[in-house]
């Protein structure tokens, strides 16, 4: 099974014919109904920016852990930003075989959400070395956020709703979570994974993976590899888009195999999600296809019963990924200075 390869250039071109934009939307819609995954080309993102970001990331992860710990997540406080070591992130209670940097939208200390100590909002932590990592990360967040808005316009067209529906109701000010993951080479161990089985939480994930590969997707016939395709992004939908489409779209489980290539693997997942305070609502005019699949889901939850804000859902998830950090930061009384 090969993932659909979708050229989204017509969505980016204001002069393209409405019929061409609609055709792209229908391709995205078909992929979301089928596997929940697709590859994107024609996205317009400069490959030099990608190459620079990957190069600076490799420089950072080559540093000793003691140097990387200068921007450890424990220093990011409620903003939930910074570096964690190999094994520091859990999936289904098991440590992943990766280290990583967490980033998000860069917010000033005067931002009302920062003043209110809103979880997952604040300033990023950047290392002094390499100095060019910061501008590369901030530029990446800008351009991939714009791509996320464009892809959601394609989703809206495919669903037959207003092109700007997601931007109007959910992503005027989206929750942006950007990760840089480093999977060091390891030995083959049947009980060890780069990342165990999981689904993503929000609307849309936009992933740049290097040529090492390792991503696998769960299908009705078993697990399949999603090898890198030069110049493309891997896109998949998250739990909230499944919830909002009443099960018409599926938030498909995926995982990352242990890196036995003998080379370092860099992965750049970008999560483009609803505004933190947005109430999750159903997409208009869609019939429900929802069923309770909690018995077979990796987290044994039924996403279709969720009611509340996206922030409520997200915090419930990330607290399980970093339980020690949750105890240090999120479980503090709200009137305790952070």
Q: Are 208 and 235 in contact (CB under 8 A)?
A: no
Would you tell me how many other CB atoms lie within 10 Å of the CB of residue 83? 27
Domain ranges of the chain: 5-330
| pLDDT tens digit sequence for 214-244 | 999 999 889 999 999 999 999 999 999 999 9
Radius of gyration, alpha carbons of the chain: 19
- pLDDT, residue 97, reads 93
CB 138 within 8 A of CB 11: no
Neighbours of 283 (CB within 10 A): 20
pLDDT of residue 338: 35
Q: Report how far apart, in Å, the C-alpha atoms of 318 and of each of 100, 120, 122 are.
A: 15, 10, 16
Distance CA 312, CA 4 (A): 33
Assign a CATH topology to domain 5-330. Answer: Jelly Rolls (2.60.120)
pTM, whole model, 2 decimals? 0.94
Query: What pLDDT, on a 0 to 100 scale, did the predictor assign at position 166?
Result: 97
pLDDT at 335: 43
Q: Which residues of the chain have pLDDT under 50?
A: 334-338
- Tokens 């994974």 locate to 193
For 48-62, letters b (16+ CB in 10 Å) and e give eebebbbebbeebbe
Q: Can you tell me the distance from the alpha carbon of 198 to that of 165, in angstroms, rounded to the nearest whole number?
A: 28
Which secondary-structure segment (H or E) carries 174?
none
19-28: long-range contacts (C-beta < 8 A, 24 or more apart)?
A: 21/154, 21/157, 22/157, 24/154, 24/157, 25/153, 25/154, 25/155, 25/156, 25/157, 25/158, 25/159, 26/157, 26/158, 27/158, 28/151, 28/154, 28/155, 28/157, 28/158
């Amino acid at each position: 099974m090969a993932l659909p390869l979708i050229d989204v250039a017509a969505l980016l071109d204001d002069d393209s014919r409405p019929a061409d934009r609609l055709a792209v939307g229908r391709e995205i819609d078909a992929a979301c109904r089928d596997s929940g995954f697709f590859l994107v080309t024609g996205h317009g993102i400069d490959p030099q920016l990608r190459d620079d970001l990957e190069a600076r990331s490799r420089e950072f992860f080559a540093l000793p852990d003691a140097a990387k710990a200068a921007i450890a997540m424990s220093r990011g406080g409620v903003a939930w930003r910074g570096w964690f070591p190999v094994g520091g992130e859990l999936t289904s209670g098991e440590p992943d075989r990766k280290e990583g940097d967490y980033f998000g939208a860069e917010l000033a200390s005067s931002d009302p959400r920062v003043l209110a100590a809103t979880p997952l909002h604040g300033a990023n932590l950047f290392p002094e070395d390499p100095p060019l990592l910061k501008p590369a990360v901030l530029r990446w967040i800008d351009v991939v956020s714009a791509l996320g808005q464009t892809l959601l316009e394609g989703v809206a067209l495919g669903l037959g709703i207003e092109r700007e529906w997601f931007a109007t109701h959910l992503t005027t000010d989206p929750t942006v979570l950007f990760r840089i993951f480093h999977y060091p080479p390891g030995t083959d161990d049947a009980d060890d994974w780069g990342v165990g089985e999981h689904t993503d939480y929000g609307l849309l994930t936009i992933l740049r993976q290097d040529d090492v590969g390792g991503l696998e997707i769960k299908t009705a016939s078993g697990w399949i590899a999603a090898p890198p395709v030069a110049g493309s992004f891997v896109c998949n939908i998250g739990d909230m888009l499944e919830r909002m489409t009443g099960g018409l779209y599926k938030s498909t489980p995926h995982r990352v195999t242990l890196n036995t290539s003998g080379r370092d693997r860099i992965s750049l997942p970008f999560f483009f999600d609803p505004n933190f305070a947005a109430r999750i609502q159903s997409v208009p005019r869609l019939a429900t296809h929802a069923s309770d699949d909690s018995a077979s889901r990796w987290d044994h939850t039924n996403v279709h019963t969720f009611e509340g804000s996206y922030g409520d859902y997200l915090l419930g998830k990330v607290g399980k990924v970093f339980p020690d950090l949750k105890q240090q930061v999120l479980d503090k009384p709200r009137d305790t200075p952070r």
